[in-house]
Homo-oligomer: A and B are copies of this chain.
């Protein structure tokens, strides 16, 4: 028997979901609330397997609720439930440890499947949400990084700059004269199209040169 808790402000939907879940073999709604204001106590008291959490709620919203619950219970499965698959909420939700993210338009039969999946450690999500997640993921990792085509020595100097070394320290570290360090750095600035140490360091991070 999968024990479910429900957070949903719309009374009709709350009732509807409760009836759907209670009316299904192997599922049981322990409790349903209209906001997350006391989510921590409620979850602690009822110890559900799965929490269905609406995102758009007055008072403490779903993301806040998610955080609150996660802070005291890292194991309970939390399925976010929402009308829109907007980027920001999806990101927030999964960064904060949601176990799934499904749209309200999901047909009832699928919903029950999703709850089971979540309970057994899966991460159910609506296809459109999954697409977004993948996009975010690949956009995080795409090292567009223009080449700038720094020489080895220049890269080395830049690395030391990033590590907070002064010209003098770089000279010491690399066994070259400080004036040579200057030459290298001037060249680096040219290649990166910047004209200060900070900008070079920032660019090194942004374009993943280091």
Whether B134 pairs with A136 at a CB distance below 8 angstroms is: no
Is A162 interfacial (CB-CB < 8 Å)?
yes
Residue of B with least CB distance to A137? B94
The residue that A130 contacts in the complex, of B125, B161, B201, with Cβ under 8 A, is: B125
Is A196 interfacial (CB-CB < 8 Å)?
yes
Q: How far is the CA of A99 from the CA of B161 in the complex (A)?
A: 38
A62 / chain B contacts, CB cutoff of 8 Å: none
A136 / chain B contacts, CB cutoff of 8 Å: 137
Interfacial residues of chain A within 17-75, with CB under 8 A of chain B in the complex:
none
Whether A95 pairs with B142 at a CB distance below 8 angstroms is: yes
Whether A162 pairs with B198 at a CB distance below 8 angstroms is: yes
Q: How far is the CA of A152 from the CA of B96 in the complex (A)?
A: 24
Whether A164 pairs with B127 at a CB distance below 8 angstroms is: no
Q: How far is the CA of A123 from the CA of B135 in the complex (A)?
A: 10
Whether A131 pairs with B141 at a CB distance below 8 angstroms is: no
Q: How far is the CA of A99 from the CA of B120 in the complex (A)?
A: 24
The residue that A123 contacts in the complex, of B122, B131, B142, B161, with Cβ under 8 A, is: B131
Whether A163 pairs with B130 at a CB distance below 8 angstroms is: no
Most buried by B among A94, A128, A201: A201
Residues A138 and B202 in contact in the complex (CB < 8 Å), given A166-B196, A197-B197: no
Tell me, rounded to whole Å, the shortest Cβ–Cβ distance linking A131 to chain B. 4
List 10 tightest A-B contacts by C-beta distance, closest first: A122-B127, A164-B199, A123-B130, A123-B131, A205-B205, A201-B201, A117-B127, A95-B141, A198-B201, A123-B134
